[in-house]
C-alpha cells in the first residue's frame, strides 16, 4: 500500500512537472524566435556571434584539439581553458575527469546527471532549465548510454528527466543531445567510494546542431554545467 501511494505521488508529480516545463518551453521558443525573413545562414551567423561574445565576456581561453591531446586531454580550469572541437563546434572544459573508469567499447550503462542550461543567444546569465533548482532537485536525470566502437548514443528515462520533459513537445523523444554525449570519450563514469573521490563534471558550449530539439529548431547555442555519475 505504501509503495502504491508513493508511486501515485510520483506519477502526479511528474505530470505536474511536465505541464510546467511545457509552459517554460513555449516561453523559451517565443524568446528564441527570429524574424520571418531570416535565412538559416542568418540564424547560424547570429548564433556564431553570440558564442564569440559569450567567450569574450566569460574570458574563456580557447585551445585547439592538438593542444588538448598534448596535455593528456586536460583543460586548465585556473586559466579558464576550453578545448574547441572543430568537427562539432562544441567547446568543452573538463572541471573534473571523475572517479571510476570510462565507458568501455561495447558497454551499456546507466548514467545519472545534474545540470544547468543557459540560452547563450537570449539570456546567457539566467538558467533556462535545470534539475538543481526548486522542486526539480527531486529529479536526477537518468540516461542509458552505449559505447559502440567509440561512438556514444543514449536515451533518457522519460520518468526521470527534466531535460527530456522540457523539450518533449519539440519532438526530441528520449534521445540524449549529441552535445551531452561528447564528453564520454574523455571522462570517467563512476561512483565515489571515499570522501576525496569526485564525479565527472564538465562545462560545455553547445551549438544548435548538437543541442536539444528546441535549440536545433530555433537555432540558438546553450551553455551547460553537467555532472555525470554511474547509476546502479
Domain of residue 184, CATH code: 3.10.50.40
Longest dimension (CA), the chain: 59
pTM over 0.75? The answer is yes
Question: What confidence score (pLDDT) does residue 50 get?
Answer: 98
| Tens of pLDDT, residues 79-91 | 999 999 999 999 9
The model's pLDDT over 121-133, given as tens digits with 9 standing for 90+, comes to 999 999 999 999 9
pLDDT score recorded for residue 134: 86
Helices (H), the chain: 2-32, 40-57, 65-70, 162-167, 178-181, 213-218
Can you give the pLDDT at residue 35? 63
Q: Are 63 and 83 in contact (CB under 8 A)?
A: yes
Range of the domain at 202: 2-230
- Residue 13 and residue 167: Cα distance in Å, rounded? 17
The answer to whether residue 29 scores a pLDDT higher than 60 is no
Give pLDDT, residue 173.
87
Quote the cell numbers at residue 116: 544547468
**pLDDT reading at 102 higher than 50:** yes
Question: How would residue 37 be classed by pLDDT, with cut points 50, 70 and 90?
Answer: confident
Mean pLDDT of the chain: 89
Residue 208 contacts residue 215 (beta carbons within 8 Å): yes
| Tally of domains in the chain | 1
**What band does 12 get if pLDDT is binned at 50, 70 and 90?**
low
Judge whether residue 159 has pLDDT over 90.
yes
Residues 172-227 have pLDDT tens digits of 789 999 999 999 999 999 999 999 999 999 999 999 999 999 999 999 999 999 99
Non-local CB neighbours of 67 within 8 Å, separated by 6+ positions: 83
Q: What is the DSSP letter of 208?
A: G
- Average confidence (pLDDT) over 115-120: 98
- Cα–chain center distance at 47: 18
Distance CA 65, CA 179 (A): 16
Q: Is the pLDDT of residue 27 over 60?
A: no
Amino acid at each position: 500500500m505504501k509503495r502504491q501511494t508513493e508511486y501515485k505521488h510520483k506519477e502526479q508529480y511528474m505530470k505536474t512537472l511536465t505541464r510546467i516545463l511545457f509552459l517554460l518551453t513555449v516561453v523559451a521558443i517565443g524568446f528564441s524566435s527570429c524574424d520571418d525573413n531570416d535565412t538559416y545562414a542568418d540564424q547560424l551567423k547570429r548564433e556564431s556571434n553570440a558564442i564569440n561574445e559569450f567567450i569574450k565576456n566569460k574570458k574563456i581561453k580557447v585551445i585547439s584539439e592538438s593542444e588538448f591531446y598534448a596535455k593528456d586531454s586536460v583543460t586548465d580550469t585556473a586559466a579558464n581553458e576550453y578545448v574547441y572541437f572543430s568537427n562539432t563546434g562544441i567547446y568543452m572544459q573538463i572541471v573534473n575527469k571523475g572517479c571510476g573508469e570510462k565507458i568501455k567499447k561495447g558497454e551499456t550503462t546507466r548514467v545519472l546527471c545534474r545540470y544547468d542550461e543557459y540560452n547563450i543567444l537570449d539570456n546567457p546569465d539566467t538558467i533556462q532549465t535545470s534539475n538543481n533548482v526548486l522542486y526539480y532537485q527531486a529529479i536526477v536525470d537518468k540516461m542509458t548510454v552505449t559505447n559502440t566502437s567509440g561512438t556514444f548514443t543514449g536515451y533518457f528515462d522519460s520518468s526521470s528527466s527534466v531535460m527530456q520533459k522540457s523539450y518533449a513537445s519539440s519532438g526530441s523523444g528520449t534521445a540524449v543531445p549529441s552535445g551531452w554525449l561528447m564528453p564520454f570519450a574523455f571522462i570517467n563514469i563512476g561512483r565515489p567510494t571515499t570522501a576525496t573521490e569526485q564525479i565527472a563534471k564538465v562545462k560545455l558550449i553547445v551549438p544548435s546542431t548538437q543541442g536539444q530539439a528546441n535549440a536545433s529548431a530555433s537555432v540558438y547555442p546553450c551553455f551547460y554545467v553537467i555532472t555525470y555519475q554511474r547509476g546502479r
